[in-house]
C-alpha cells in the first residue's frame, strides 16, 4: 500500500490516514510507516482501538522497549506500558497525574536516550466548545537547528550539557507534586549524564538542538550566568511558532514522536472530574543505531 499522509504543520509531523493499527501490518506497510516517521519526526493515527497487547506489539516493531523508572505507575498487566492519568481509585493515583508538564525529551537523562515514544489517548477531558484540555505541544529541534546561521551552529556544536532525572524530579516535588520520594535503587538507575548540545540523530543523521528545560542542568563549558543565559535563549528560540505543533487530543489518538528530533510539553489545564488516561511505551534504539550514536560521540569528543 501507499500511505496517505496529511502534514500537521510546516516544519514536521504528519497524520496517517485510513489505517487501523489493531489489524496485522505486513512488513511492507510497516516499512512505509517507519520511513514516514523518520522523515517527519512525528506521526498521528486517529480513531485507534488498540488493546494493551496491540499497543505493546506495535511498539516492539520500532525497537526494544524500556520500562520506566517509576515502577508504581506501570500497567499491572504490561510492565512496558506507563500509565499517565489524573484518575484516582480508592484514593490512589491510577498513573502519573502531572507527567510531562515542562518541555522535555523523553529519557534524555539516560546515557542512550530512547528512540521514540508511542502515546495512546484512552480517556480525554471533554472540550468546552472550541476549547480543549490536556493538549500536548511538540516542537522540532531539528528544524530549529537547521534554521540557525552556520556560525551559530558551529558554536553550539562545541558544547555539552548534563541531563538529570533527579534534578527534574526534585523540582517537581518542590512545586507541590504528590510524587513520592525516589528510592535509593531508583536514584541509582538514573545518574546524571552529559550529552552534546547539538545531537546528531543516530538513524537519520539530522542534527538537533538537544537541551530542554526539564532535564538539562547547565552548559558545561560556560560559567553559570552565561550557561543559564544561553539555555534561556535556546528555549525561547525553540518556542518560535514555526517550529511548534499543538495537538488537541481525541479518544483513540495514537502519536509516535522522535525523541532525538522533537521535544514536547503536556498542558496541565484540567482537573477531576475531567478525566485523562493515557498509555505510553518507550522504544529504545536498536543495536546498529546505538553503535552509531557511540561512534558519533567519540568523534565529537576527540
pLDDT tens digits for range 179-201: 666 677 776 767 889 999 999 99
pLDDT exceeds 90 at position 172: no
pLDDT exceeds 90 at position 289: no
Residue 93: which pLDDT band, with cuts at 50, 70 and 90?
confident
pLDDT exceeds 80 at position 70: no
pLDDT exceeds 90 at position 99: no
Instruction: Specify the higher pLDDT residue, 169 or 201.
Output: 201
Query: What is the pLDDT averaged over residues 23-28?
Result: 93
pLDDT over 90 percentage in the chain: 72
**What does the pLDDT read at residue 235?**
97
**What does the pLDDT read at residue 292?**
85
**What does the pLDDT read at residue 190?**
74
pLDDT exceeds 70 at position 173: no
Q: Tell me which residues are annotated as active site.
A: 104, 106, 264, 280
pLDDT exceeds 80 at position 219: yes
The verdict on pTM exceeding 0.85 is yes
Residue 288: which pLDDT band, with cuts at 50, 70 and 90?
confident
**What does the pLDDT read at residue 69?**
62
Query: What is the pLDDT averaged over residues 37-47?
Result: 98
Instruction: Specify the higher pLDDT residue, 105 or 295.
Output: 105
Mean pLDDT, the chain, integer: 90
**What does the pLDDT read at residue 294?**
81
pLDDT exceeds 70 at position 268: yes
Query: What is the pLDDT averaged over residues 256-270?
Result: 96
SS (H, E, C) the chain: CCCEEEECCCCCCEEEECCCCCCCCCHHHHHHHHHHHHHHCEEEECCCCCCHHHHHHHHHHHCCECCCCCHHHECCCCCCCEEEECCEECCEECCECCCCCCCECCCCCCCCCCCEEEEEEEECCCCECCECCCCEEEEEHHHHHHCCCHHHHHHHCCCEEEECHHHHHHHHHHCCCCCCCCCHHHHHHCCCEEEECEEECCCCCCEEECCCCCCECCCCCCCHHHHHHHHHHHHHHHCCHHHEEEECCCCCCEEEEECCCEEEEECCCCCCCCCCEEEEEEECCCHHHHHHHHHHHHHHHC
**What does the pLDDT read at residue 174?**
63
Amino acid at each position: 500500500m501507499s500511505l496517505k499522509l496529511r502534514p500537521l504543520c510546516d516544519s514536521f509531523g504528519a497524520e496517517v490516514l485510513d489505517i487501523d493499527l489493531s489489524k496485522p501490518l505486513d512488513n511492507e506497510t510497516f516499512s512505509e510507516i517507519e520511513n514516514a516517521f523518520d522523515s517527519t519526526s512525528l506521526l498521528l493515527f486517529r480513531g485507534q482501538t488498540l488493546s494493551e497487547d496491540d499497543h505493546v506489539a506495535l511498539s516492539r516493531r520500532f525497537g526494544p522497549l524500556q520500562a520506566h523508572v517509576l515502577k508504581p505507575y506501570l500497567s499491572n498487566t504490561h510492565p512496558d506500558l506507563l500509565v499517565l492519568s489524573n484518575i484516582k481509585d480508592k484514593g490512589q493515583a491510577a498513573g502519573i497525574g502531572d507527567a510531562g508538564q515542562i518541555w522535555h525529551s523523553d529519557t534524555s537523562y539516560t546515557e542512550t536516550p530512547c528512540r521514540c515514544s508511542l502515546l495512546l489517548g484512552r480517556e480525554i477531558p471533554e472540550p468546552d466548545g472550541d476549547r480543549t484540555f490536556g493538549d500536548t505541544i511538540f516542537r522540532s529541534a531539528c528544524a530549529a537547528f537547521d534554521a540557525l546561521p552556520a556560525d551559530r551552529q558551529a558554536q553550539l556544536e562545541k558544547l555539552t550539557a548534563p541531563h538529570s532525572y533527579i534534578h527534574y524530579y526534585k523540582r517537581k516535588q518542590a512545586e507541590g507534586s504528590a510524587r513520592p520520594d525516589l528510592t535509593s535503587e531508583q536514584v541509582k538507575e538514573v545518574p546524571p549524564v552529559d550529552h552534546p548540545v547539538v545531537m546528531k540523530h543516530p538513524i537519520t543523521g539530522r542534527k538537533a538542538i538537544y537541551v530542554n528545560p526539564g532535564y538539562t542542568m547547565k552548559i558545561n563549558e560556560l560559567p553559570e550566568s552565561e550557561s543559564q543565559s544561553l539555555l534561556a535563549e535556546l528555549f525561547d528560540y525553540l518556542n518560535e511558532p514555526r517550529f511548534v505543533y499543538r495537538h488537541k487530543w481525541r479518544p483513540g489518538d495514537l502519536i509516535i514522536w522522535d525523541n532525538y528530533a522533537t521535544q514536547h510539553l503536556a498542558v496541565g489545564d484540567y482537573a477531576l472530574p475531567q478525566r485523562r488516561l493515557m498509555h505510553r511505551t518507550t522504544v529504545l534504539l536498536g543495536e546498529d543505531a546505538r553503535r552509531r550514536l557511540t561512534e558519533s560521540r567519540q568523534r565529537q569528543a576527540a
